[in-house]
A = this chain, B = another copy of it.
Amino acid sequence: MANKEVKLYGAWGSPFSSRVEIALKLKGVPYQFFDEDLTNKSPDLLRYNPVHKKIPVLVHRGKPIAESLVILEYIDETWKSAYPLLPEDPYDRAMARFWSRFLDEQCLLASWKAASSEGEARAKLKEEAHGHLKTLEEQLKRKKFFGGDSVGFLDISANFVAHWLVIIQEAAGVDLFTEDKFPTLWKWAEEFRCCPIIKDNLPEKERLSAHFKARFGGQNASK
Protein backbone atom coordinates (compact mmCIF):
# COMPACT_ATOMS: atom_id res chain seq x y z
CA MET A 1 0.00 0.00 0.00
CA ALA A 2 1.25 3.44 -0.95
CA ASN A 3 0.35 4.94 2.40
CA LYS A 4 2.15 2.37 4.52
CA GLU A 5 4.71 3.73 6.91
CA VAL A 6 4.35 7.47 6.64
CA LYS A 7 6.21 9.40 9.31
CA LEU A 8 6.46 13.14 9.63
CA TYR A 9 9.20 14.80 11.64
CA GLY A 10 7.86 18.27 12.28
CA ALA A 11 7.23 20.87 14.95
CA TRP A 12 3.79 21.84 16.25
CA GLY A 13 4.29 25.59 15.68
CA SER A 14 5.99 25.53 12.27
CA PRO A 15 4.12 26.66 9.14
CA PHE A 16 6.42 24.43 7.04
CA SER A 17 5.50 21.40 9.09
CA SER A 18 1.83 22.42 8.97
CA ARG A 19 1.90 22.53 5.15
CA VAL A 20 2.80 18.85 5.07
CA GLU A 21 0.18 17.93 7.67
CA ILE A 22 -2.53 19.77 5.71
CA ALA A 23 -1.52 18.02 2.47
CA LEU A 24 -1.54 14.57 4.11
CA LYS A 25 -4.92 15.22 5.75
CA LEU A 26 -6.48 16.51 2.51
CA LYS A 27 -5.22 13.38 0.77
CA GLY A 28 -6.46 11.18 3.61
CA VAL A 29 -3.04 9.67 4.21
CA PRO A 30 -2.55 8.37 7.78
CA TYR A 31 0.80 9.28 9.32
CA GLN A 32 2.74 9.26 12.53
CA PHE A 33 3.80 12.71 13.74
CA PHE A 34 7.03 13.27 15.63
CA ASP A 35 7.02 16.67 17.32
CA GLU A 36 10.67 17.74 17.34
CA ASP A 37 12.19 19.93 20.02
CA LEU A 38 14.04 22.37 17.75
CA THR A 39 16.53 23.23 20.49
CA ASN A 40 17.43 19.56 20.88
CA LYS A 41 16.79 17.75 17.60
CA SER A 42 16.35 13.98 17.62
CA PRO A 43 19.02 11.63 16.21
CA ASP A 44 16.36 10.45 13.71
CA LEU A 45 15.83 13.95 12.32
CA LEU A 46 19.58 14.57 12.01
CA ARG A 47 20.00 11.20 10.30
CA TYR A 48 17.11 11.79 7.90
CA ASN A 49 18.07 15.35 6.97
CA PRO A 50 21.86 15.54 7.40
CA VAL A 51 22.15 18.36 4.84
CA HIS A 52 19.89 20.97 6.42
CA LYS A 53 19.12 19.35 9.82
CA LYS A 54 15.68 20.94 9.62
CA ILE A 55 12.04 19.98 9.87
CA PRO A 56 9.84 18.97 8.12
CA VAL A 57 11.05 15.59 6.94
CA LEU A 58 8.59 13.08 5.51
CA VAL A 59 9.70 9.48 5.73
CA HIS A 60 7.80 7.14 3.42
CA ARG A 61 8.70 3.46 3.42
CA GLY A 62 11.95 4.36 5.17
CA LYS A 63 13.01 6.96 2.60
CA PRO A 64 13.31 10.58 3.76
CA ILE A 65 12.29 13.74 1.86
CA ALA A 66 13.07 17.22 3.15
CA GLU A 67 11.93 20.77 2.24
CA SER A 68 8.20 21.43 2.56
CA LEU A 69 7.56 22.39 -1.09
CA VAL A 70 9.45 19.33 -2.32
CA ILE A 71 7.42 17.19 0.09
CA LEU A 72 4.12 18.67 -1.15
CA GLU A 73 5.00 17.70 -4.74
CA TYR A 74 5.99 14.21 -3.58
CA ILE A 75 2.70 13.77 -1.74
CA ASP A 76 0.76 14.97 -4.78
CA GLU A 77 2.59 12.55 -7.08
CA THR A 78 2.49 9.56 -4.72
CA TRP A 79 -1.18 9.76 -3.74
CA LYS A 80 -2.43 10.95 -7.09
CA SER A 81 -6.12 10.14 -7.09
CA ALA A 82 -7.19 11.80 -3.85
CA TYR A 83 -7.53 15.61 -3.75
CA PRO A 84 -5.04 16.92 -6.35
CA LEU A 85 -2.92 19.73 -4.89
CA LEU A 86 -1.37 21.13 -8.07
CA PRO A 87 -3.60 22.06 -11.02
CA GLU A 88 -3.46 19.94 -14.19
CA ASP A 89 -2.37 22.55 -16.73
CA PRO A 90 1.44 22.95 -16.98
CA TYR A 91 1.20 26.75 -16.98
CA ASP A 92 -1.00 26.80 -13.88
CA ARG A 93 1.39 24.35 -12.22
CA ALA A 94 4.32 26.65 -13.07
CA MET A 95 2.45 29.60 -11.54
CA ALA A 96 1.72 27.66 -8.31
CA ARG A 97 5.43 26.78 -8.07
CA PHE A 98 6.57 30.32 -8.88
CA TRP A 99 4.34 31.93 -6.27
CA SER A 100 5.15 29.33 -3.62
CA ARG A 101 8.83 30.19 -4.03
CA PHE A 102 7.93 33.89 -3.92
CA LEU A 103 6.10 33.29 -0.64
CA ASP A 104 9.12 31.62 0.97
CA GLU A 105 11.89 33.72 -0.51
CA GLN A 106 10.29 37.16 -0.40
CA CYS A 107 7.04 37.39 1.54
CA LEU A 108 7.82 35.20 4.53
CA LEU A 109 11.42 36.37 4.78
CA ALA A 110 10.63 40.09 4.73
CA SER A 111 7.76 39.66 7.21
CA TRP A 112 9.90 37.69 9.63
CA LYS A 113 12.76 40.18 9.34
CA ALA A 114 10.38 43.10 9.91
CA ALA A 115 9.04 41.38 13.04
CA SER A 116 12.58 40.68 14.26
CA SER A 117 13.99 44.16 13.70
CA GLU A 118 13.50 47.59 15.21
CA GLY A 119 13.47 51.29 14.36
CA GLU A 120 14.40 52.38 10.86
CA ALA A 121 15.34 48.88 9.72
CA ARG A 122 11.88 47.69 10.73
CA ALA A 123 10.15 50.55 8.90
CA LYS A 124 12.00 49.64 5.72
CA LEU A 125 11.36 45.92 6.04
CA LYS A 126 7.70 46.56 6.86
CA GLU A 127 7.34 48.49 3.63
CA GLU A 128 9.04 45.67 1.76
CA ALA A 129 6.70 43.08 3.33
CA HIS A 130 3.69 45.26 2.40
CA GLY A 131 4.89 45.34 -1.20
CA HIS A 132 5.13 41.56 -1.31
CA LEU A 133 1.70 41.09 0.25
CA LYS A 134 0.23 43.52 -2.30
CA THR A 135 1.82 41.50 -5.12
CA LEU A 136 0.38 38.32 -3.62
CA GLU A 137 -3.06 39.86 -3.22
CA GLU A 138 -3.12 40.79 -6.90
CA GLN A 139 -2.73 37.10 -7.75
CA LEU A 140 -6.01 36.27 -6.09
CA LYS A 141 -7.98 38.59 -8.36
CA ARG A 142 -11.58 37.43 -8.13
CA LYS A 143 -10.83 33.87 -7.07
CA LYS A 144 -11.93 32.43 -3.74
CA PHE A 145 -8.66 30.53 -3.33
CA PHE A 146 -5.35 30.70 -5.17
CA GLY A 147 -6.25 27.20 -6.36
CA GLY A 148 -9.63 28.42 -7.69
CA ASP A 149 -12.77 27.14 -5.94
CA SER A 150 -10.90 24.93 -3.52
CA VAL A 151 -7.66 25.01 -1.54
CA GLY A 152 -4.62 23.97 -3.62
CA PHE A 153 -0.82 23.89 -3.52
CA LEU A 154 -0.38 27.66 -3.35
CA ASP A 155 -3.02 28.13 -0.65
CA ILE A 156 -1.25 25.53 1.48
CA SER A 157 2.11 27.24 0.83
CA ALA A 158 0.52 30.52 1.94
CA ASN A 159 -0.61 29.09 5.30
CA PHE A 160 1.94 31.37 6.98
CA VAL A 161 0.05 34.42 5.72
CA ALA A 162 -3.33 32.99 6.63
CA HIS A 163 -2.63 31.93 10.20
CA TRP A 164 0.82 32.90 11.50
CA LEU A 165 1.31 36.43 10.26
CA VAL A 166 -1.44 38.08 12.33
CA ILE A 167 -0.23 36.29 15.46
CA ILE A 168 3.40 37.24 14.83
CA GLN A 169 2.63 40.89 14.08
CA GLU A 170 0.64 41.11 17.31
CA ALA A 171 3.45 39.53 19.33
CA ALA A 172 6.13 41.70 17.71
CA GLY A 173 4.04 44.88 17.66
CA VAL A 174 4.21 45.65 13.96
CA ASP A 175 1.41 46.06 11.41
CA LEU A 176 2.15 43.77 8.50
CA PHE A 177 -1.10 42.16 7.41
CA THR A 178 -4.28 44.13 8.09
CA GLU A 179 -7.80 43.96 6.71
CA ASP A 180 -7.84 47.58 5.53
CA LYS A 181 -4.58 47.29 3.60
CA PHE A 182 -5.21 43.85 2.07
CA PRO A 183 -8.98 43.21 2.01
CA THR A 184 -8.90 40.45 -0.63
CA LEU A 185 -6.04 38.59 1.00
CA TRP A 186 -7.71 39.04 4.40
CA LYS A 187 -10.93 37.47 3.12
CA TRP A 188 -8.93 34.62 1.60
CA ALA A 189 -7.17 34.04 4.94
CA GLU A 190 -10.53 33.83 6.74
CA GLU A 191 -11.89 31.38 4.14
CA PHE A 192 -8.73 29.29 4.32
CA ARG A 193 -8.80 29.03 8.11
CA CYS A 194 -12.46 27.96 8.01
CA CYS A 195 -12.01 25.09 5.54
CA PRO A 196 -13.17 21.78 7.05
CA ILE A 197 -9.90 19.87 7.29
CA ILE A 198 -7.66 22.91 7.65
CA LYS A 199 -9.42 24.47 10.63
CA ASP A 200 -8.73 21.35 12.69
CA ASN A 201 -5.09 21.18 11.63
CA LEU A 202 -3.71 24.64 12.33
CA PRO A 203 -1.84 25.15 15.60
CA GLU A 204 -4.02 26.64 18.33
CA LYS A 205 -3.96 30.44 18.21
CA GLU A 206 -3.42 30.96 21.95
CA ARG A 207 -0.49 28.56 22.10
CA LEU A 208 1.17 30.13 19.03
CA SER A 209 0.55 33.59 20.44
CA ALA A 210 2.23 32.71 23.75
CA HIS A 211 5.15 31.18 21.83
CA PHE A 212 5.74 34.27 19.70
CA LYS A 213 5.16 36.69 22.57
CA ALA A 214 8.01 34.94 24.38
CA ARG A 215 10.09 35.16 21.20
CA PHE A 216 9.41 38.84 20.50
CA GLY A 217 8.96 40.01 24.10
CA GLY A 218 10.15 43.55 24.61
CA GLN A 219 9.83 44.64 21.00
CA ASN A 220 6.20 45.69 21.30
CA ALA A 221 6.96 49.38 21.68
CA SER A 222 8.39 49.98 18.23
CA LYS A 223 5.32 50.03 15.99
Question: Which residues of A line the B interface, CB within 8 A?
Answer: 51, 60, 63, 65-67, 70-71, 73-74, 77-78, 90-91, 93-95, 97-98, 101-102, 106, 135
Contacts and interface: CB of A to CB of B under 8 A. Distances in A.
Contact of A98 (B66, B78, B106): B66
A95 to B, nearest CB: 8
A127 to B, nearest CB: 16
17 contacts: A51-B135, A60-B91, A63-B91, A65-B94, A65-B98, A66-B98, A67-B97, A67-B101, A70-B97, A70-B98, A70-B101, A71-B94, A73-B94, A74-B90, A74-B93, A77-B93, A78-B90
Contacts of A98: 65-67, 70
**In the complex this chain forms, how many copies of it are found?**
2
Given A60-B91, A74-B91, 4 more contacts: A65-B91, A67-B101, A70-B97, A78-B90
A4 to B, nearest CB: 14
A95 B60 CA distance: 13
A218 to B, nearest CB: 32
Contacts of A70: 94, 97-98, 101
Nearest to A106: B51
Contacts of A101: 67, 70
